Amino acid sequence: MDPAIWSALPEELVEVIFAHLPAINILRLLVLSKEWRRKLTMRESKFMQLCSQYQSKIIGFVCGRNMSPRTLSVRFYDGRSQQWHRGRGLTGGEGPFETMGASDGGLVCTIERKLMSDGTAPVRIVVRIVVCNPLTSLRSLRSIHWGHHHALPYGGMTSQLPSMLQLRMDPDSQTYKLLLVGPSRLDVKGAAAAEVYESATDAWRSTDESMASTDLVFGHYYAWEDDGEEDDGEEDDDVNDPLFFLSVTGPPCAFDPAGGQLILLSLDCYDPLEINIAACRLVKDRLFILYARVYTENSRGPIYMIIEYQVGLKASRPHWKKLRTYNPPLSDMFRKSLDRYQVKLYATQNTLLVIAQVEEIDSSQELCSNCEGFAMYCDLSESVEELWHSIPAMPENLGTYSGTMCDLRWDALP
Protein backbone atom coordinates (compact mmCIF):
# COMPACT_ATOMS: atom_id res chain seq x y z
CA MET A 1 0.00 0.00 0.00
CA ASP A 2 1.14 3.52 -0.79
CA PRO A 3 2.71 5.06 2.39
CA ALA A 4 0.92 8.30 1.55
CA ILE A 5 -2.40 6.57 2.18
CA TRP A 6 -1.33 5.56 5.69
CA SER A 7 -0.20 9.07 6.50
CA ALA A 8 -3.57 10.41 5.39
CA LEU A 9 -5.52 8.15 7.77
CA PRO A 10 -6.49 9.39 11.23
CA GLU A 11 -4.04 8.27 13.90
CA GLU A 12 -6.80 6.56 15.89
CA LEU A 13 -7.76 4.43 12.86
CA VAL A 14 -4.15 3.40 12.21
CA GLU A 15 -3.82 2.30 15.84
CA VAL A 16 -6.97 0.17 15.58
CA ILE A 17 -5.68 -1.47 12.37
CA PHE A 18 -2.24 -2.18 13.83
CA ALA A 19 -3.78 -3.53 17.05
CA HIS A 20 -5.22 -6.40 14.97
CA LEU A 21 -1.76 -7.48 13.76
CA PRO A 22 -0.13 -10.68 15.06
CA ALA A 23 1.88 -10.06 18.22
CA ILE A 24 5.27 -10.47 16.54
CA ASN A 25 4.35 -7.79 13.97
CA ILE A 26 3.29 -5.41 16.73
CA LEU A 27 6.73 -5.82 18.31
CA ARG A 28 8.33 -4.93 14.96
CA LEU A 29 6.69 -1.52 15.19
CA LEU A 30 9.43 -0.68 17.70
CA VAL A 31 11.83 -0.02 14.82
CA LEU A 32 9.27 1.74 12.62
CA SER A 33 9.68 5.16 14.22
CA LYS A 34 10.34 6.90 17.52
CA GLU A 35 6.62 7.61 17.83
CA TRP A 36 5.68 3.94 17.56
CA ARG A 37 8.42 3.00 20.01
CA ARG A 38 6.91 5.49 22.43
CA LYS A 39 3.45 3.97 21.95
CA LEU A 40 4.85 0.51 22.72
CA THR A 41 6.93 1.48 25.75
CA MET A 42 5.13 4.34 27.49
CA ARG A 43 3.03 3.65 30.55
CA GLU A 44 -0.78 3.69 30.14
CA SER A 45 -0.54 3.66 26.36
CA LYS A 46 -3.93 3.73 24.62
CA PHE A 47 -2.45 1.66 21.81
CA MET A 48 -1.46 -1.07 24.29
CA GLN A 49 -5.03 -1.10 25.60
CA LEU A 50 -6.30 -1.59 22.04
CA CYS A 51 -3.86 -4.46 21.53
CA SER A 52 -5.16 -6.23 24.64
CA GLN A 53 -8.72 -5.68 23.46
CA TYR A 54 -8.22 -7.18 19.99
CA GLN A 55 -5.44 -9.74 20.50
CA SER A 56 -6.03 -13.47 20.86
CA LYS A 57 -4.59 -15.71 23.56
CA ILE A 58 -0.87 -15.14 24.23
CA ILE A 59 0.93 -17.74 26.37
CA GLY A 60 4.47 -16.97 27.49
CA PHE A 61 7.46 -18.57 29.23
CA VAL A 62 10.20 -16.54 30.95
CA CYS A 63 13.48 -18.07 32.15
CA GLY A 64 17.25 -17.57 32.25
CA ARG A 65 19.33 -18.39 29.15
CA ASN A 66 22.38 -20.65 29.39
CA MET A 67 24.10 -19.19 26.33
CA SER A 68 23.36 -15.60 27.32
CA PRO A 69 23.39 -15.61 31.12
CA ARG A 70 22.65 -11.91 31.53
CA THR A 71 19.36 -12.20 29.69
CA LEU A 72 15.95 -13.51 30.62
CA SER A 73 14.53 -15.37 27.65
CA VAL A 74 10.93 -14.73 26.58
CA ARG A 75 9.08 -17.19 24.34
CA PHE A 76 5.40 -16.86 23.60
CA TYR A 77 2.62 -18.49 21.62
CA ASP A 78 0.43 -16.05 19.70
CA GLY A 79 -3.11 -17.26 19.10
CA ARG A 80 -3.59 -14.94 16.12
CA SER A 81 -0.60 -16.21 14.12
CA GLN A 82 -0.82 -19.67 15.74
CA GLN A 83 2.95 -19.75 16.09
CA TRP A 84 5.63 -19.63 18.78
CA HIS A 85 7.94 -16.61 18.77
CA ARG A 86 10.95 -15.30 20.64
CA GLY A 87 10.17 -12.10 22.50
CA ARG A 88 12.45 -9.23 23.44
CA GLY A 89 15.14 -10.38 25.86
CA LEU A 90 15.02 -8.88 29.34
CA THR A 91 18.42 -7.77 30.62
CA GLY A 92 19.31 -9.45 33.87
CA GLY A 93 22.05 -8.81 36.40
CA GLU A 94 25.81 -8.51 36.23
CA GLY A 95 26.59 -12.11 35.42
CA PRO A 96 24.98 -15.55 35.34
CA PHE A 97 22.01 -16.18 37.58
CA GLU A 98 19.03 -18.44 38.08
CA THR A 99 15.62 -17.31 39.14
CA MET A 100 12.51 -18.15 41.03
CA GLY A 101 9.41 -16.66 39.46
CA ALA A 102 5.70 -15.95 39.75
CA SER A 103 3.13 -14.47 37.39
CA ASP A 104 -0.34 -12.95 37.42
CA GLY A 105 -2.38 -10.60 35.25
CA GLY A 106 0.22 -10.33 32.48
CA LEU A 107 3.11 -9.55 34.84
CA VAL A 108 6.05 -11.73 35.82
CA CYS A 109 8.25 -11.40 38.90
CA THR A 110 11.73 -12.91 38.99
CA ILE A 111 14.22 -13.05 41.83
CA GLU A 112 17.82 -13.39 40.68
CA ARG A 113 20.76 -14.36 42.86
CA LYS A 114 24.52 -13.95 42.49
CA LEU A 115 27.56 -14.30 44.74
CA MET A 116 29.84 -11.25 44.83
CA SER A 117 33.11 -10.20 46.43
CA ASP A 118 35.28 -7.10 46.06
CA GLY A 119 38.43 -9.11 46.83
CA THR A 120 38.71 -8.00 50.46
CA ALA A 121 35.35 -8.75 52.04
CA PRO A 122 33.76 -12.19 52.42
CA VAL A 123 31.52 -13.49 49.69
CA ARG A 124 28.06 -11.96 49.86
CA ILE A 125 24.74 -12.92 48.37
CA VAL A 126 23.13 -10.12 46.41
CA VAL A 127 19.63 -10.37 45.08
CA ARG A 128 17.70 -8.49 42.42
CA ILE A 129 13.92 -8.36 42.19
CA VAL A 130 12.21 -7.44 38.93
CA VAL A 131 8.52 -7.20 38.06
CA CYS A 132 8.01 -6.83 34.33
CA ASN A 133 5.66 -7.18 31.40
CA PRO A 134 7.53 -9.66 29.15
CA LEU A 135 5.78 -8.35 26.02
CA THR A 136 6.62 -4.67 26.42
CA SER A 137 9.72 -5.02 28.65
CA LEU A 138 8.29 -2.45 31.06
CA ARG A 139 9.61 -3.19 34.53
CA SER A 140 9.67 -1.91 38.10
CA LEU A 141 11.57 -2.39 41.39
CA ARG A 142 14.73 -1.16 39.71
CA SER A 143 16.01 0.26 43.01
CA ILE A 144 16.53 -3.26 44.34
CA HIS A 145 19.44 -4.61 42.35
CA TRP A 146 23.00 -5.91 42.46
CA GLY A 147 25.26 -3.69 44.53
CA HIS A 148 26.61 -2.83 47.95
CA HIS A 149 24.12 -0.14 48.92
CA HIS A 150 20.73 -1.61 48.10
CA ALA A 151 19.79 -4.25 50.65
CA LEU A 152 16.55 -6.14 50.51
CA PRO A 153 13.90 -4.92 52.92
CA TYR A 154 13.61 -8.07 55.02
CA GLY A 155 13.49 -7.37 58.71
CA GLY A 156 12.35 -10.69 60.15
CA MET A 157 14.05 -13.18 57.84
CA THR A 158 17.29 -15.03 58.41
CA SER A 159 18.05 -15.28 54.69
CA GLN A 160 17.88 -13.00 51.67
CA LEU A 161 16.72 -15.97 49.60
CA PRO A 162 12.95 -16.41 49.93
CA SER A 163 11.37 -19.84 50.28
CA MET A 164 8.17 -18.69 48.63
CA LEU A 165 7.23 -15.97 46.16
CA GLN A 166 3.77 -14.85 45.14
CA LEU A 167 2.48 -12.09 42.85
CA ARG A 168 -1.10 -10.83 42.94
CA MET A 169 -2.48 -8.43 40.32
CA ASP A 170 -5.68 -6.40 40.79
CA PRO A 171 -7.15 -6.10 37.27
CA ASP A 172 -9.43 -3.20 38.22
CA SER A 173 -6.86 -0.89 39.78
CA GLN A 174 -3.91 -2.28 37.75
CA THR A 175 -1.88 -2.50 40.97
CA TYR A 176 -0.15 -5.53 42.40
CA LYS A 177 1.26 -6.98 45.60
CA LEU A 178 4.44 -9.02 45.84
CA LEU A 179 4.84 -11.41 48.78
CA LEU A 180 8.20 -12.85 49.85
CA VAL A 181 8.33 -15.52 52.57
CA GLY A 182 11.45 -16.89 54.24
CA PRO A 183 12.69 -18.46 57.47
CA SER A 184 12.00 -16.36 60.55
CA ARG A 185 14.51 -15.09 63.09
CA LEU A 186 12.23 -16.46 65.81
CA ASP A 187 13.60 -19.62 67.39
CA VAL A 188 10.44 -21.59 66.68
CA LYS A 189 10.22 -24.69 64.50
CA GLY A 190 8.56 -23.91 61.17
CA ALA A 191 8.40 -20.18 61.88
CA ALA A 192 8.34 -17.94 58.80
CA ALA A 193 8.43 -14.21 58.16
CA ALA A 194 7.24 -12.24 55.16
CA GLU A 195 7.41 -8.85 53.51
CA VAL A 196 4.90 -7.41 51.04
CA TYR A 197 5.62 -4.88 48.30
CA GLU A 198 2.61 -2.80 47.20
CA SER A 199 2.90 -1.06 43.85
CA ALA A 200 0.16 1.42 44.80
CA THR A 201 2.39 2.92 47.49
CA ASP A 202 5.78 1.83 46.09
CA ALA A 203 6.68 0.61 49.57
CA TRP A 204 7.46 -2.55 51.51
CA ARG A 205 5.37 -3.50 54.52
CA SER A 206 5.27 -6.36 56.97
CA THR A 207 2.44 -8.84 56.57
CA ASP A 208 0.94 -7.56 59.83
CA GLU A 209 0.29 -4.22 58.16
CA SER A 210 -0.79 -5.37 54.70
CA MET A 211 -2.70 -8.64 55.16
CA ALA A 212 -5.68 -9.81 57.16
CA SER A 213 -4.66 -12.34 59.77
CA THR A 214 -7.07 -14.87 58.25
CA ASP A 215 -5.55 -14.68 54.76
CA LEU A 216 -3.64 -17.75 53.63
CA VAL A 217 -1.29 -17.20 50.70
CA PHE A 218 -0.47 -20.21 48.54
CA GLY A 219 2.56 -20.94 46.43
CA HIS A 220 5.35 -23.44 45.80
CA TYR A 221 8.22 -24.03 48.20
CA TYR A 222 11.63 -23.19 46.68
CA ALA A 223 14.93 -24.75 47.72
CA TRP A 224 18.15 -23.02 46.65
CA GLU A 225 21.20 -25.14 45.88
CA ASP A 226 23.47 -23.39 48.39
CA ASP A 227 23.52 -20.25 50.51
CA GLY A 228 26.83 -18.86 49.26
CA GLU A 229 28.68 -19.43 52.53
CA GLU A 230 32.16 -20.94 52.55
CA ASP A 231 33.02 -23.60 55.08
CA ASP A 232 36.71 -22.70 55.51
CA GLY A 233 36.19 -18.95 55.74
CA GLU A 234 38.73 -18.38 52.96
CA GLU A 235 38.04 -16.30 49.92
CA ASP A 236 37.13 -18.20 46.77
CA ASP A 237 39.42 -17.19 43.91
CA ASP A 238 36.79 -18.26 41.41
CA VAL A 239 33.89 -16.36 42.91
CA ASN A 240 33.50 -14.20 39.82
CA ASP A 241 33.61 -17.15 37.41
CA PRO A 242 30.38 -17.95 35.59
CA LEU A 243 28.30 -19.96 38.05
CA PHE A 244 24.67 -20.98 38.04
CA PHE A 245 22.60 -21.28 41.18
CA LEU A 246 19.60 -23.50 40.82
CA SER A 247 16.27 -23.05 42.56
CA VAL A 248 14.21 -26.21 42.75
CA THR A 249 10.44 -25.92 42.82
CA GLY A 250 9.12 -28.04 45.66
CA PRO A 251 5.67 -29.00 46.92
CA PRO A 252 2.71 -26.64 47.28
CA CYS A 253 2.77 -24.61 50.47
CA ALA A 254 0.74 -22.00 52.32
CA PHE A 255 1.88 -19.03 54.39
CA ASP A 256 -0.22 -18.35 57.48
CA PRO A 257 0.40 -14.72 58.53
CA ALA A 258 -1.55 -15.13 61.77
CA GLY A 259 0.59 -18.00 63.00
CA GLY A 260 3.77 -16.98 61.20
CA GLN A 261 4.06 -20.43 59.65
CA LEU A 262 4.97 -21.77 56.21
CA ILE A 263 2.95 -24.97 55.83
CA LEU A 264 3.87 -27.64 53.29
CA LEU A 265 0.70 -29.04 51.73
CA SER A 266 0.54 -32.80 51.38
CA LEU A 267 -0.87 -34.17 48.13
CA ASP A 268 -3.10 -36.67 49.89
CA CYS A 269 -6.02 -36.24 47.50
CA TYR A 270 -5.46 -39.30 45.31
CA ASP A 271 -5.35 -43.09 45.46
CA PRO A 272 -1.79 -44.18 44.54
CA LEU A 273 -2.97 -47.73 43.80
CA GLU A 274 -5.10 -46.62 40.87
CA ILE A 275 -3.56 -43.47 39.46
CA ASN A 276 -0.21 -41.69 39.57
CA ILE A 277 0.58 -38.00 39.69
CA ALA A 278 2.35 -36.92 36.51
CA ALA A 279 2.51 -33.21 37.37
CA CYS A 280 0.86 -30.61 39.58
CA ARG A 281 0.53 -26.82 39.40
CA LEU A 282 -0.73 -24.47 42.08
CA VAL A 283 -2.48 -21.25 40.99
CA LYS A 284 -3.55 -19.11 43.95
CA ASP A 285 -5.78 -21.44 46.00
CA ARG A 286 -6.38 -23.87 43.12
CA LEU A 287 -4.33 -27.00 42.58
CA PHE A 288 -4.33 -28.70 39.17
CA ILE A 289 -3.01 -32.27 39.17
CA LEU A 290 -2.29 -34.23 36.00
CA TYR A 291 -3.00 -37.89 36.67
CA ALA A 292 -1.95 -40.89 34.61
CA ARG A 293 -4.22 -43.90 35.02
CA VAL A 294 -2.70 -47.37 35.00
CA TYR A 295 -2.55 -49.36 31.78
CA THR A 296 -5.31 -51.58 30.49
CA GLU A 297 -4.96 -54.39 27.97
CA ASN A 298 -6.57 -52.41 25.16
CA SER A 299 -4.92 -49.10 25.99
CA ARG A 300 -2.22 -47.48 23.85
CA GLY A 301 -0.72 -46.01 26.99
CA PRO A 302 -1.77 -44.21 30.15
CA ILE A 303 -5.03 -42.30 30.20
CA TYR A 304 -4.51 -38.74 31.41
CA MET A 305 -6.90 -36.48 33.26
CA ILE A 306 -6.60 -33.24 35.21
CA ILE A 307 -8.42 -32.71 38.50
CA GLU A 308 -8.84 -29.22 39.95
CA TYR A 309 -8.84 -28.86 43.73
CA GLN A 310 -9.41 -25.86 45.97
CA VAL A 311 -7.57 -25.42 49.22
CA GLY A 312 -9.86 -25.10 52.21
CA LEU A 313 -9.44 -25.02 55.96
CA LYS A 314 -10.41 -27.92 58.19
CA ALA A 315 -9.56 -27.79 61.90
CA SER A 316 -7.32 -24.81 61.09
CA ARG A 317 -5.34 -26.93 58.63
CA PRO A 318 -5.44 -26.74 54.82
CA HIS A 319 -7.15 -29.57 52.97
CA TRP A 320 -8.12 -30.24 49.34
CA LYS A 321 -11.66 -30.01 47.97
CA LYS A 322 -12.29 -31.50 44.53
CA LEU A 323 -13.91 -29.03 42.11
CA ARG A 324 -13.70 -30.31 38.55
CA THR A 325 -12.21 -32.93 36.23
CA TYR A 326 -10.70 -32.10 32.83
CA ASN A 327 -10.08 -34.68 30.12
CA PRO A 328 -7.46 -33.48 27.61
CA PRO A 329 -7.88 -35.55 24.41
CA LEU A 330 -4.27 -36.71 24.32
CA SER A 331 -4.96 -40.07 22.70
CA ASP A 332 -6.66 -38.34 19.75
CA MET A 333 -3.30 -36.85 18.76
CA PHE A 334 -1.59 -40.20 18.22
CA ARG A 335 -1.79 -43.15 15.91
CA LYS A 336 0.63 -45.03 18.13
CA SER A 337 1.37 -45.46 21.81
CA LEU A 338 1.73 -42.62 24.30
CA ASP A 339 4.61 -44.53 25.89
CA ARG A 340 7.23 -42.58 23.95
CA TYR A 341 6.06 -39.23 25.27
CA GLN A 342 6.64 -37.34 28.47
CA VAL A 343 3.50 -35.41 29.33
CA LYS A 344 3.71 -32.19 31.38
CA LEU A 345 1.21 -29.71 32.76
CA TYR A 346 1.47 -25.93 33.13
CA ALA A 347 -1.22 -23.65 34.52
CA THR A 348 -2.14 -20.03 35.10
CA GLN A 349 -5.35 -18.49 36.37
CA ASN A 350 -6.84 -18.55 32.86
CA THR A 351 -4.99 -21.34 31.06
CA LEU A 352 -4.21 -25.04 31.31
CA LEU A 353 -1.38 -26.10 28.98
CA VAL A 354 -0.54 -29.77 28.37
CA ILE A 355 2.54 -30.68 26.37
CA ALA A 356 3.88 -34.05 25.20
CA GLN A 357 7.51 -34.47 24.18
CA VAL A 358 9.44 -37.49 22.95
CA GLU A 359 11.89 -38.67 25.60
CA GLU A 360 14.45 -40.95 23.89
CA ILE A 361 13.97 -42.05 20.30
CA ASP A 362 15.16 -45.43 19.09
CA SER A 363 16.18 -44.99 15.45
CA SER A 364 14.87 -48.46 14.67
CA GLN A 365 11.37 -47.54 15.80
CA GLU A 366 8.71 -46.28 13.46
CA LEU A 367 7.47 -42.93 14.71
CA CYS A 368 4.19 -41.19 14.07
CA SER A 369 4.03 -38.07 11.92
CA ASN A 370 3.98 -35.68 14.89
CA CYS A 371 6.72 -37.46 16.87
CA GLU A 372 8.41 -34.18 17.79
CA GLY A 373 5.60 -33.57 20.27
CA PHE A 374 2.55 -31.39 20.54
CA ALA A 375 0.73 -29.05 22.89
CA MET A 376 -2.86 -28.16 23.69
CA TYR A 377 -4.47 -25.62 25.96
CA CYS A 378 -7.81 -25.03 27.62
CA ASP A 379 -8.86 -21.41 28.13
CA LEU A 380 -10.46 -21.30 31.58
CA SER A 381 -11.77 -17.78 30.99
CA GLU A 382 -13.77 -18.59 27.85
CA SER A 383 -16.75 -20.46 29.32
CA VAL A 384 -17.75 -23.25 31.66
CA GLU A 385 -17.48 -25.67 28.74
CA GLU A 386 -14.22 -27.59 28.52
CA LEU A 387 -12.70 -26.82 25.12
CA TRP A 388 -9.16 -27.86 24.20
CA HIS A 389 -7.21 -26.10 21.44
CA SER A 390 -4.41 -27.97 19.69
CA ILE A 391 -1.34 -25.80 19.01
CA PRO A 392 2.09 -26.48 17.47
CA ALA A 393 4.95 -27.69 19.63
CA MET A 394 7.56 -25.08 20.52
CA PRO A 395 10.37 -25.23 17.90
CA GLU A 396 13.71 -26.45 19.22
CA ASN A 397 15.48 -23.24 18.16
CA LEU A 398 13.32 -21.26 20.61
CA GLY A 399 14.22 -23.39 23.63
CA THR A 400 12.08 -25.51 25.91
CA TYR A 401 8.98 -25.21 28.05
CA SER A 402 10.87 -24.02 31.11
CA GLY A 403 10.74 -21.16 33.55
CA THR A 404 7.63 -19.26 34.57
CA MET A 405 4.50 -19.65 32.44
CA CYS A 406 2.26 -16.60 32.15
CA ASP A 407 -0.80 -15.27 30.36
CA LEU A 408 0.54 -12.17 28.62
CA ARG A 409 -1.26 -8.85 28.18
CA TRP A 410 -0.09 -5.76 26.33
CA ASP A 411 -1.60 -3.32 28.83
CA ALA A 412 -0.30 -4.88 32.08
CA LEU A 413 1.65 -2.22 34.01
CA PRO A 414 4.42 -3.17 36.45
CA distance 105 to 348: 9
Residue 223 and residue 118 in contact, taking contact as beta carbons nearer than 8 Å: no
Residue 351 and residue 370 in contact, taking contact as beta carbons nearer than 8 Å: no
The amino acid present at 53, given as its one-letter code, is Q
Residue 100 and residue 62 in contact, taking contact as beta carbons nearer than 8 Å: no
Which DSSP symbol is given to 234? P
244 Cβ neighbours under 8 A, 6+ residues apart: 64, 66, 69, 96, 97, 98
- For residue 146, the model assigns a pLDDT of 32
Nearest to 285 by CA among 215, 217, 210: 217
CA distance 282 to 286: 6
Beta bridge partner(s), residue 115: 125
Nearest to 77 by CA among 397, 391, 403, 404: 391
Can you list the positions of beta strands (E) in 171-294?
175-183, 192-198, 203-206, 217-224, 247-256, 261-264, 275-283, 286-293
Q: pLDDT in tens for each of the 414 residues of the chain?
A: 566 777 788 889 999 999 999 999 998 888 888 888 888 888 778 999 999 888 878 998 887 655 555 567 788 999 888 899 888 766 555 544 455 678 898 888 887 766 655 566 555 566 677 888 888 877 766 444 333 333 445 455 555 677 888 889 888 888 898 888 887 766 667 788 888 888 888 887 776 555 555 578 888 888 766 544 444 444 444 433 333 344 556 778 888 888 888 888 877 665 554 567 777 788 888 889 888 876 655 555 667 889 999 887 676 666 788 899 999 887 666 545 566 777 888 998 889 999 887 765 444 444 444 446 778 999 988 767 788 988 888 887 776 677 788 899 998 888
Return the domain boundaries, the chain.
3-54, 58-263, 266-401
DSSP code per residue over 70-94: TEEEEEEEETTTTEEEE-PPEE--S
